[in-house]
């Protein structure tokens, strides 16, 4: 009985992939076969960050413990990891994920994250995953929150609950990439708010698509500290300069 069910599930998956071919997140071409989520060519080219800053997870030269910015500024989180350098195909991939309605990429990113960072995720022993929220108007315009999609994919793999409504974005901030560091800090001040007071979490992983200066994650981590959350980690698809 069991393998009949498995066979049915399998043929169901094959049928679905015939109907809705899976596109590789990095080249956007259809991935042949019925199991892989990333094409072989891109898989070979991908360069997951192996030598990383012990604080923020961005790429550092071998032998270096912290990146330049983590040596200069302190953060409100314990530590975090980024899967890929924010460049080339990855940069374009995340752009399509955010603005090009490629929601299905979340699954492939989550799979790559588990391949590379399984130890890190398990060692966090997180009570919950906290996706960085979008302002409601931006979410309505985009149709979805990409960080929430990624958190859901990871949450289902690791069986960790996703807190999708715990933090709200109160101000529709100017896109961070257009601002300088100081402007970013000001832009983010009071940009987030907890929706509940009775937070009983001890350890969380904040989930986002890109880590750059860390100001977004720091702003949320700060709030989490105020709510008594003791261990705050983060995880992103990419880490940029």
- Residue with smaller CB distance to Zn ion, 59 or 152: 59
Least separation in angstroms between CB 39 and Zn ion = 3
Angle at Cα 12 formed by Cα 8 and Cα 17, nearest 5°? 150
Q: Determine, following the binding rule CB under 5 A, whether residue 67 of this chain makes contact with Zn ion.
A: yes
Q: Determine, following the binding rule CB under 5 A, whether residue 205 of this chain makes contact with Zn ion.
A: no
Q: Determine, following the binding rule CB under 5 A, whether residue 70 of this chain makes contact with Zn ion.
A: yes
Q: What is the DSSP string of the chain?
A: -HHHHHHHHHHHHHHHHHHSPPBPTTT-PBPPSSS-SS-HHHHHH-----SB-TTT--B--TT-SS-HHHHHS--SSSEEEEEEESSHHHHHHHHHHHHS--TTHHHHHHHHHHHHHHHHHHHHT-SEEEEPPPPHHHHHHHSS-HHHHHHHHHHHHHT--B-SSSEEE-S-PPPGGGS-HHHHHHHHTT-EEES-S----SEEEEEEEEESSSHHHHHHHHHHHHTT--EEEEEEEEE--
Least separation in angstroms between CB 37 and Zn ion = 10
- Residue with smaller CB distance to Zn ion, 53 or 124: 53
Q: Among 22, 24, 108, 217, which residue interacts with Zn ion (rule: CB under 5 A)?
A: 24
Q: Determine, following the binding rule CB under 5 A, whether residue 238 of this chain makes contact with Zn ion.
A: no
* Residues 25-64 as x/- pattern, contact with Zn ion by CB under 5 A: -xx-----------x--x----------x-xx--------
Least separation in angstroms between CB 27 and Zn ion = 3
Least separation in angstroms between CB 143 and Zn ion = 24
- Residue with smaller CB distance to Zn ion, 80 or 131: 80
Q: Determine, following the binding rule CB under 5 A, whether residue 149 of this chain makes contact with Zn ion.
A: no
- Residue with smaller CB distance to Zn ion, 55 or 152: 55
Q: Which of residues 152-191 bind Zn ion (CB under 5 A)?
A: none
- Residue with smaller CB distance to Zn ion, 15 or 95: 95
């Amino acid at each position: 009985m069991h393998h009949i069910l498995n066979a049915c599930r399998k043929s169901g998956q094959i049928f679905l992939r015939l109907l809705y071919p899976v596109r590789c997140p990095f080249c956007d071409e259809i991935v042949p076969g019925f199991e892989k989520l990333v094409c072989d060519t891109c898989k070979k080219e991908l360069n997951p960050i192996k030598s990383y800053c012990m604080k923020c997870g961005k790429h550092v030269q071998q032998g270096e413990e912290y990146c330049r910015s983590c040596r200069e500024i302190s953060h409100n989180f314990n530590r975090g990891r980024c899967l890929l350098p924010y460049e080339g195909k990855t940069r374009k991939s995340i752009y399509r994920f955010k603005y090009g309605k490629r929601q299905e990429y979340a699954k492939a990113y989550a799979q790559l994250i588990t391949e590379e960072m399984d130890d890190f995720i398990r060692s966090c022993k997180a009570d919950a995953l906290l996706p960085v929220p979008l302002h409601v108007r931006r979410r309505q315009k985009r149709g979805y929150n990409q960080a929430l999609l990624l958190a859901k994919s990871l949450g289902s793999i690791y069986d960790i609950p996703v807190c999708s409504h715990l933090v709200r974005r109160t101000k529709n901030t100017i896109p961070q990439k257009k601002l300088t560091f100081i402007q970013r800090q000001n832009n983010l001040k009071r940009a987030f708010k907890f929706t509940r007071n009775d937070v009983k979490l001890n350890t969380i992983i904040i989930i986002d698509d890109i880590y750059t200066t860390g100001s977004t994650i720091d702003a949320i981590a700060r709030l989490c500290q105020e709510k008594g959350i003791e261990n705050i980690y983060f995880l992103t698809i990419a880490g940029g300069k």
